[in-house]
Structure 1
Amino acid sequence: MHKQGFKYQKLAVHIEHQITTGQLKNGDRLCSIRDFSKRHGISLNTAKACYQLLEAKGLISVKPKSGYFVQYQPHQPADKNANFLSYPRQVSNLELLLEIQQAAISADQIHLGTIQIDPRWIPLDNLRRSLNRAIKHCKPEDFLHCDRQGHIQLRSALVELWREDGIYIPTEQVFISSGCMPALALLIQILSHEKDSIIVTSPTFNGQLQQIANLKRKIIEIPASSQGIDLERLEQVMQSGQAKLCLLTANFQNPLGYCLSHQEKQHIAKLAEKYQCFILEDDVFAECGYQIERPLPIKYWDQAGYVIWCGSISKSLSHAYRIGWFCLGEQAMAFTSKILSQNQMVNTPLQLGLADFIYSKAYREHLSHLHHILQAQVRAYIAYIQATFAEFLLECHMPKGGYILWLKLRPEINSVELYHQAKAHHISIVPGLVFSEDGKHQHYIRLNAGHILDEKMKQAITTLAQCSRILYLQHTF
C-alpha cells in the first residue's frame, strides 16, 4: 500500500511540474487512465489515484465522455485550504465509531460526548396533555392504518409552524420519518448507488460518516471551520461531476457550530441548480439557536428543487420520540412512489400528540424558553472548560447556536488516547478522529453542553482535564 501511494504521488508531482512550467498547457487533453497505466507500467487503481490527486489540487478536470484536461490558473490568490485534498475515499474507523455508539447508550457512563439536552428541560406535563388530547380526539380510521407519508395533521402542523418562521413548504412535499438519520439513509439509498461518492464537510457529524459507510458509499470532503464552508472548493467538486449528492448542515453544524449567512445559503442553492447536484440539508439543530428567530435553511432559496430539507425534534425536544421529517423539492418528487414504499411508518398516536403540541403553541413556548437556557448554559460550560483545561486548550469557540463544543487541544494530546482514558473513568467523549478522513483532527474532541452544569458534570470535566495532563506529560518527557 505504501509503495503504491508513493508511486501515484511521484507521478502526480511529475505531471504537476509539467503543468506549472507550461509543458502541459491549460486545456490540453491528457491520455486516458487506461493508456496512462500502460505507459507507466502501473495498475488502473494507481493511475486513477494519480489523476484524482491532480484533480483535487485543481490542476486537471474531467469532462464526462471526453476525458481529463489541464485546468491551471497560475495567477489565482493563495488558497488557505490548498493542501486539503478533496477526492473520493472510503470511511474508515468503523470499529471505533461502533464502540463510541455503544458507549453512548451505556447506563454506567457520564455522557459528556453524546449530544442531547438535559431531560429536566423537556416540558413533560405539556407533552402528556397533548398526547392525552390526541388519543381522546382520535378518529376510528386513525387506528386502522398508518399513512406512509405521515399523518396529515402533523404535516399540516409543521407547515403552519414553519410559516410562522417565514418558510413556506407545500403540505404535499412533507414526509414524516422515524427521525432525521433514517430519513437521510432512505434518501441516500434512493438518490445514489453503492460506491457513489457523497460530498461532506470536514469535519462532519460522525454518525453521518458511519451511516454513509454502512450504505457502501464513499465521501468527498471539503474543508470547513467554525466560520463556515469553503464554498469555492464545494463548487470545484460539484463541477467535477464526481458526486451528484451533497450532505450539508447550514445551521449550527455538528461539530463546528457555524451558521451560514443568507448569501452563502443562497449561493449553495444556486450551485445545486447549476450542477444538478442534490443537497440533503440536515437541519436538526436549527431550532436550538440563541435568538427568537429561527435561521432560514438552504431550502428557503431552492427554486429549482434540488434541496431536500430534513429535520426532527430529537435535538430541540427529545430523541426518544423518534419523529422526524423531510421535504422534497421538485426534482425529487419523481421518486415519491419509491420513497413511500420504503419509508418507515411512524406511530400514529405520537404523530397526533406532536401535532397537538405544536397547535397548542406549547412547542413554540418550549423553544422560546430553550433559547435563553442554552446560550447561558453553553457559556457556563466554556468558562468552566477554559479554567479547567487552561494549559492544554488551544481553541474552544462559542457556537452560533446549539449545544456542541469543539475543543482543540495541544498536539501532544491524542484524542483517541484521551477517549480511552476517559472511558476508564466512566466518562464518554467523542474523539476528533472520527469526524473526518483527512487526519487533521487527531487532537480535537467533541463535548455536549446540553446537560445542566451541575457538580457531576463539573467533576467529569475536571477528570477529563486530569487525563489530558497525564497524556501531555507522557508525550513531553
Structure 2
Amino acid sequence: MPLYEDLANQFIADIKAQKLSVGSRLPALRTMAKQHQVSMTTVTKTYDYLQQTGWIYAQPQSGYFVTNQHVAGQPSHSAFPTIQINNIEQRDPKAFAPDNGYNPTSTLFTPLGTSMIAPELQPIQELQRCIKRVTRRASKQLFEYPDAQGEQTLRSALASHFQYEHFGFLGDELVITNGCIDAVRTAIETVTKEGDTIAIGSPCFSGLLDLLVGLSRNVIEIPVQENGIDLDYFESVLQQELVTASLFSTSNINPTGLTLPAKQKQSLAQLAAKYQTPMIEDDIYFELSHQKQQDLPTKHWDKEDYVLWCGSVSKTLAAGLRLGWCLPGRYFDDYLAKHLATGFGVNGLMQSALAEFINTGDYRRHINKTRLMLIKQVNQYRQFLIKHLPSNAKISLPQGGVVLWIQVPKLNCLELEKAALEKHIDMRSGACFSTHDYFHDCFRINCGWPLYDSLCERGDKAVNKTEVYQQLMSLCEIISEMISTR
C-alpha cells in the first residue's frame, strides 16, 4: 500500500472511532509532513485521497476539515427523518396537493428554494467556447430539423462518457429529450394511460408529483427511509397488480440525498422483470455523488430491459440547455414514437455543443470539481444548521446531490414557508413531497450557493459571508421564534 494511502487510512480509522469529530480541523500540510516525517508530496496525496473519498473537505484560506459520515455514534442531528405507511392506498395526487401545487412557483427566486448549483460555480467560459466553436462549424444544422432521436454525436459522446463509469450502452439506444422532466413525461405516457396508478418513492420530488397531476395518474407511495426503499411493501403492491408502472429516483435522491444500495437497485430491476412492470428511473442527480466511487443506476442490472433510465445535464451543468435523455429499453419504438408526436426534436446546435463539451474532457473535469465542491458546501450548511436549529432537529446526511432534508418536531412547515416568503426567502415545505401528511414538520433547502466567499475565514471568524448566509440565518431565526411560541 502506498504511504499516502496508509496515512489516509489512519485518519479514516480515527474519524470512524470519533477521535476526530465532524468539523474538526486537520493539521496543516507542513505540520503534517513534520509530524510524520514525510514529504509534502506525500501529505498532499494523503489529503487529496481523503477529499476524493469524501472524508474531508478543503476550506479556502482555512485548511482541511472532517466531513459528516454515516458512522456509529453520530449525534442525533444525523438521524434520518423517517415515516411509517401502514396501509396500501391508491391516491389521486391532485386531491392532496397544497394550495400552490407540489412545486409552488414563487414570485421571487432565492438560492435556498430551487435545487440547483450557483451559476458562478459553473464552467461558463469553457461552455461558451464550445458553443462558439460549434456555431462556427454549423451550416445546415441551423436551418434543418434535428435528428428525431437526437444528434448522433451527442448520443455517442454520452455513451462513451458513461462507459467510463462502467455503465455501458450504445448511443443508438438513447433518445435525446428537452431535459429530464421531458424524458420522464414521455416515459410515463409511453407505458401508462390516464387513470393508471404508478408506484413512487416517498418522499418524492415535488416536480414529479406536479407532472403526475397534469397527466392524470394516480399514485401509491412506497416508503424510502435511511436504509433505502421498502422492497417488501413494493413487492406486495406488484403482487396485487395495483400499479401499471413505477417511478423512482435511485441516486442522490431529492429531497433526502439518499442513494439506494446496489443490492436494492438490483432487486428493483429483478422485480420489474418478475412482474413485467416497467420502471421509470429518474436519475438526474446520478453524477453528483459525494463519494469517490460513482454508484451505478438500476438500469445497469436491467437484464430484461424493463427499466426506462432518464437523465440530464440540468443539475450538473446548465438547466438552460434543456438537454436530457432516456434509455427506454424494450419500449424504445413506442417511446420514440411518443417523443415524435409531441415535438420535432431537440435543438441541434445545443446538442452539438454539449457533445463537444463532453468530448474535450471539460465535462468530466467539471463533474469531478463539482463533486468536491458539493462535499464542502453541504457540510458547511449542515454545520450551520446544527449550530442554529433547535437541538432536536434532524438533518439528513446526503450521499450526494445539492439539498438537505430537515425535520424539526412540532414545527408547521407550511406556516414556515409562508413566513419565509414574507421575508423574501424561498424554501420548500415537506408538504410538497407527498400526498400524505407525513412530512408536515420537514422542509428542504438547496445548498448549491456558497455560504462564504473564497476569501473568508471559517465559523465565527468569517468576514465575507454571502447573502445566502444571511438568508439561512433569517430562516433559522423564524424557526426558533415559531417553536418558542408553541
* TM-score where L is the length of structure 1: 0.79
Query: Aligned pair in 2 of structure 1 residues 86, 466: CA closer, same or farther (>3 Å)?
Result: same
Alignment of 1:70-469 (within 5 A): 83-91=85-93, 92-94=95-97, 96-98=99-101, 100-103=103-106, 106-107=107-108, 109-140=109-140, 143-343=143-343, 345-391=345-391, 393-411=392-410, 413-454=411-452, 455=465, 456-469=467-480
Contact 1:178-1:344 at 8 Å conserved across structures: no
- 1:377-432 per-residue CA deviation (whole Å, 9 max, x = no partner) reads 100000001101134x5210220011110000122x10000000000000011000
User: Which AA in structure 1 matches 2:438?
Assistant: K
State the alpha-carbon separation in 2 of the partners of residues 440 and 253 from structure 1.
18
State the alpha-carbon separation in 2 of the partners of residues 292 and 180 from structure 1.
25
State the alpha-carbon separation in 2 of the partners of residues 153 and 367 from structure 1.
20
- 1:353-373 per-residue CA deviation (whole Å, 9 max, x = no partner) reads 000000000000101111110
State the alpha-carbon separation in 2 of the partners of residues 220 and 83 from structure 1.
11
Query: Aligned pair in 2 of structure 1 residues 447, 141: CA closer, same or farther (>3 Å)?
Result: closer
State the alpha-carbon separation in 1 of the partners of residues 128 and 321 from structure 2.
13
Contact 1:97-1:434 at 8 Å conserved across structures: no
- 1:187-222 per-residue CA deviation (whole Å, 9 max, x = no partner) reads 212211111111001111011011101111110011
User: Which AA in structure 2 matches 1:434?
Assistant: C
State the alpha-carbon separation in 2 of the partners of residues 268 and 466 from structure 1.
42
State the alpha-carbon separation in 1 of the partners of residues 288 and 451 from structure 2.
18
- How far 1:93 moved relative to its partner? 4.7
- How far 1:290 moved relative to its partner? 1.9
- How far 1:331 moved relative to its partner? 4.2
Query: Aligned pair in 2 of structure 1 residues 82, 367: CA closer, same or farther (>3 Å)?
Result: closer
User: Which AA in structure 2 matches 1:409?
Assistant: V
What residue is the counterpart of 1:12 in the other structure? none
User: Which AA in structure 2 matches 1:337?
Assistant: A
State the alpha-carbon separation in 2 of the partners of residues 431 and 383 from structure 1.
21
What SS class does the counterpart of residue 404 from structure 2 fall into? strand
- How far 1:226 moved relative to its partner? 3.0
State the alpha-carbon separation in 2 of the partners of residues 141 and 202 from structure 1.
43
- How far 1:89 moved relative to its partner? 0.5
- How far 1:470 moved relative to its partner? 2.2
- 1:263-284 per-residue CA deviation (whole Å, 9 max, x = no partner) reads 1111110000000111110111
What percent of counterpart residues are identical? 30
Unaligned runs of 5+ in 1: 1-79
State the alpha-carbon separation in 2 of the partners of residues 261 and 225 from structure 1.
12
- How far 1:121 moved relative to its partner? 1.1
Contact 1:225-1:256 at 8 Å conserved across structures: no
Moved more, 306-315 or 110-119: 110-119
- How far 1:133 moved relative to its partner? 1.3
User: Which AA in structure 2 matches 1:473?
Assistant: S
User: Which AA in structure 2 matches 1:416?
Assistant: L
Contact 1:175-1:327 at 8 Å conserved across structures: yes
Moved more, 223-232 or 348-357: 223-232
Q: What is the aligned length?
A: 391
Higher-Rg member (1/2)? 1
What SS class does the counterpart of residue 243 from structure 1 fall into? coil
- How far 1:473 moved relative to its partner? 2.6
- 1:223-247 per-residue CA deviation (whole Å, 9 max, x = no partner) reads 1113311111111111111112111
RMSD over aligned CA atoms reads: 1.8
- Greater percentage in helix: 1
Contact 2:97-2:435 at 8 Å conserved across structures: no
Contact 2:96-2:436 at 8 Å conserved across structures: no
- How far 1:96 moved relative to its partner? 3.3
State the alpha-carbon separation in 1 of the partners of residues 311 and 478 from structure 2.
36
State the alpha-carbon separation in 2 of the partners of residues 357 and 195 from structure 1.
41
Query: Aligned pair in 2 of structure 1 residues 322, 243: CA closer, same or farther (>3 Å)?
Result: same
- 1:285-326 per-residue CA deviation (whole Å, 9 max, x = no partner) reads 011112343211000000111000000001111211111111
Contact 1:226-1:256 at 8 Å conserved across structures: no
What SS class does the counterpart of residue 167 from structure 1 fall into? coil
What SS class does the counterpart of residue 317 from structure 2 fall into? coil
Query: Aligned pair in 2 of structure 1 residues 172, 294: CA closer, same or farther (>3 Å)?
Result: same
- 1:320-341 per-residue CA deviation (whole Å, 9 max, x = no partner) reads 1111111111244444333333
What SS class does the counterpart of residue 406 from structure 1 fall into? strand
